[in-house]
Amino acid sequence: MDDDRGRCRREAATDWNAGGDGVAILALAVVDDSLVAEEGDRTLAWPDGSVYRITRSAAETGGELLEMEWDLPAHGWAPQPHVHPRLTEEYEVIEGSLDVFVGGEWRELTAGEAASVPAGTIHTFRVGAAPVRVRNVHRPALDFEPYVNVHRSQPAPPRRPAWLPRTPLHRRPGT
């Protein structure tokens, strides 16, 4: 929708809140387009070594989708199980393998394989012992690009010390 200054407004992720069942629910707020990535402002490097590159922005697709390539390090950070109430998220492995959790089941994706997460479905992912490159698409674009850009402007949090155990959700069985 347009505000009184004629600028397009969109929803942006502002916070993660744990739901009563332990599922993270994405809280949304309306922000203006000033947070949308411009040319040269398309990469987010996370403290664990993960790199998200926007390959097709919301502006480039008229809001139809946001496409990114992720380079994820071995045993890298992964989000808590969460839902996107109004968008479909897609994962396609370009190199390596990625475990995805969709609707209560884990599945391993290898190069050339893909998974789609329907709106409202609980999901997450985890990276095993080797790095992985993934194409990630959010349809429609909605809130993730402004979320990435908000995090680009924040100071990096400290890295997880090697001695600190990972959460059980992100461990492979037997590890």
The predicted-structure confidence for 53-72, as pLDDT tens digits, reads as follows 999 999 999 999 999 999 99
Query: Structural domains in the chain?
Result: 36-156 (2.60.120.10)
Count the helices and strands in the chain (H runs, E runs).
1, 12
- pLDDT at res. 157: 54
Give the separation between CA 15 and CA 18, rounded to whole angstroms: 10
Does the structure show a pLDDT above 80 at 132? yes
| CB-count exposure of residue 81 (10 Å: 0-12, 13-18, 19+) | middle
The predicted model scores a pTM of 0.66
Percent of the chain residues topping a pLDDT of 70: 62
- pLDDT at res. 60: 94
Does the structure show a pLDDT above 80 at 11? no
- pLDDT at res. 149: 72
